[in-house]
Structure 1
């Protein structure tokens, strides 16, 4: 009866909306069943209408590629839009009350804490040191594959090294997923990725609540994955509290968890272990998947554009005096300080161009908390979802010109110097009051890793005839990995 009721209710809603088609509402282009077919379908939406609408269970979802509309949602009328109960219910089991899944007082509290922590020199220096160490470990692993003339799954390696880096910065513990030496760490990492995938697909599974209630199918699997995640993270929080209590943490105040635990002493009721779990796990979700998937697409684009790959290598050499003669991995990474990577304008442009075409977060959005009128005149009804199509926007000629689908880092450079774009036009780091606090952090991680690998290796696709596929989830993962050959650049 429950299933029949849901189907009938959705059918009646669709008939009413298709029959009515109010002239001041965005054009109606389909239903939820088209929503997550693939992100290239979003390109079709954006080409047909800069703002359109699809039908969900009991409400409409608006889709836009219009920078003015996006600025309106994220900044001008920020108070009218929130994550909303619809998104929160879907995300809460994994994201909890973390910064990416909450609004209001909890969001403001975490935003204030995180803003302070990300601005500290201690965290910046500590994270940079961690990024350099793990970039060197990754280069050594790829060097071994190059010597043996075997392929590497670059995405898998990048996911592991990024997980190790973010975990060290976030929790202060070595995870060692790249080395594969810790079975529990590997189990946690796999559960983390699978949970991300399963939670995202709640958006198109109209029966997910029933499945969760009955503990069957994908919801039963998600429950098991979240138990693995929670047990692992809670154990680390307890260990960290014990280290701080007993004065055994010689690197006090460096990792994010330690800094939040110390802050929790002022408000222990609010900042309990569950709240700490949510805060740091959200940081992990944001930092790991986004940078690793961006770097995966970056190396794919370098393989597709070997001239760009050589230009990136030249940019690195010109930014570091004597880099061409430096064949020692540890010595090289030690020199990748803040000043050096800031001078790598072409590398920065190539990473940004990757984000334009393959954004780490391909779509994002809010829920309308009240009726509103968009800058284009379309009416928004309280309860509507309003989504901006970041993946599609990077391919729009009306935003980027006739060469919108070309990979051309030079579009970001003026006289060799990187130039920022309108953040409402390029959206992977969002904008407005909820702009990503970790943007500089992410670029630093990506540039250190990319500079190390491109300096020492040339990369080539294992099969140049294959087009890459992506998984439809919160972040733009490649499906089936990225299999490359690495060749010593000095050879």
Structure 2
């Protein structure tokens, strides 16, 4: 049995050990502080002057704001903090994620996306958050892969392409939208203009991107009461990615591993998205293959009975054509490219009215 003296001795040893550890830690911090260079001291001083929300707590930072207190008005909350910071960058911190600098001024955006684009990469953490859904697409990659995809996709948005292709598709879809509204008016049906405009936009951009469309404005396929499953899946997936950015990484990874909650729904939505994207790509590739075979075999007969090879029909290039010409032939990479393109389309143009930032 332990005597009182032994107990007191052990207790004394524990206290001494704990005190020694605290002293060593403090000594280390003092030493590091003393050995800092003038540049490091200036950087630390600038870092301390950066605006932080008043609700920032020790250790947990803004985790409670992001996950509980402000989750229903997260964009409004960030806008409030940007106003309090007078438009200057401010710091948001969430457990398990790198510190996040929030910018809101045009000058900051220009510096980030133009002047110093080579410095501000997406980073490993954000790439990991997006990768299992968006793969090796432009949203989830950095460096050479990002530059290559951006350069290839930029061919789609030249002045000539916008004039010759987009204007034609917009006119065609405007006529279909007009006819559809006329049909609904004659039958006295109530329609959601937001839903119709979403379908109008998706048909235009899938036609431009892949030479195909989702037929959202076809009266025979139109369900006036429900959103297109593709839009709904994209919307739900976007919410999931935003939630991942608002909580500790270990938490959503645990839920993904256990297949719980929004992570389980995210897997279902991704299956819907990839199935529709694969269908659109398959139709596009089949049409291109048939067109190529037709042009190769196309022959005509002159008046004197001689055969002559006819001029092949020139087809307007789409995004898929540009990526194939760039040497991208891997099926998975093409699928990732298509998912990223349509995700950006729907997020930027169709559902940007939701109370959530673009991830």
- Given the two structures, how large is their TM-score scaled by the length of structure 2? 0.67
Output the CA distance in 2 between the equivalents of 1:248 and 1:128: 29
Whether 1:227 aligns to 2:227 is no
Q: Do 1:159 and 1:289's aligned partners in 2 also have CA atoms closer than 8 Å?
A: no
Which residue of 49, 73, 83 maps to 1:47? 83
- In the TM superposition, residue 147 of structure 1 has moved relative to its aligned partner by 5.7
Which of 65, 71, 84 is matched with 1:34 structurally?
Answer: 65
Structure 2 CA distance, aligned partners of 1:73 and 1:174? 34
The match for 2:122 is: 83
Change (3 A) 1:251 1:96: farther
Corresponding position: 1:203 with 2:242 = no
CA contact (8 A) 1:169 1:256 kept: yes
Cα separation, 2, equivalents of 1:195 and 1:181 = 28
Runs of at least 5 residues in structure 2 that lack an aligned partner in the other structure: 1-43, 57-61, 295-312
Q: Which residue of 2 aligns with 1:60?
A: 99
Q: Distance in 2 between matches of 1:47 and 1:79?
A: 28
> Structure 2 vs 1, CA of residues 252 and 147 (structure 1 numbering), >3 Å: closer, same or farther?
same
Number of the residue aligned with 2:285: 241
- Of 329, 334, 344, 1:271 maps to 329
CA spacing shift, 1:181–1:191, aligned 2, 3 Å: farther
Map Cα deviations across residues 305-349 of structure 1 (whole Å, 9 max, x no partner). xxxxxxxxxxxxxxxxxxxxxxxxxxxxxxxxxxxxxxxxxxxxx
- Larger % of strand: which? 1
| RMSD after superposition | 3.0
- 1:73-118 deviation per Cα after TM superposition (whole angstroms, max 9, x unaligned): 3333322211111211122233222223221111111122122332
CA deviations 1:49-86 (Å, max 9, x no partner) are: 13321212243212233444433333333222111112
Asked if the contact 2:63/2:247 (under 8 Å) is kept, the reply is no
Provide structure 1 residue ranges, at least 5 long, that are not aligned to the other structure. 1-21, 294-359, 361-468, 476-491
Asked if 1:106 is matched to 2:153, the reply is no
**CA–CA distance in structure 1, aligned partners of residues 159 and 354 of structure 2:** 36
Give the match for residue 92 of structure 1. Answer: 131
The answer to which structure has the higher helix fraction is 2
Aligned ranges for residues 27-426 of structure 1 at < 5 Å? 27-29=51-53, 30=56, 31-35=62-66, 36=71, 37-49=73-85, 50-58=88-96, 59-119=98-158, 121-122=160-161, 124-145=163-184, 151-179=190-218, 181-182=220-221, 186-206=228-248, 207-246=251-290, 247=292, 252-261=315-324, 263-264=325-326, 267=327, 270-293=328-351, 360=352
The offset of 1:162, in angstroms, is 0.9
How many correspondences in the alignment? 275
* Structure 1 match to 2:16: none
Return closer, same or farther for 1:48/1:278 CA change in 2, 3 Å cut-off: same
Evaluate the alpha carbon distance shift between residue 149 and residue 253 of structure 1 in structure 2; reply closer, same or farther with a 3 A threshold: closer
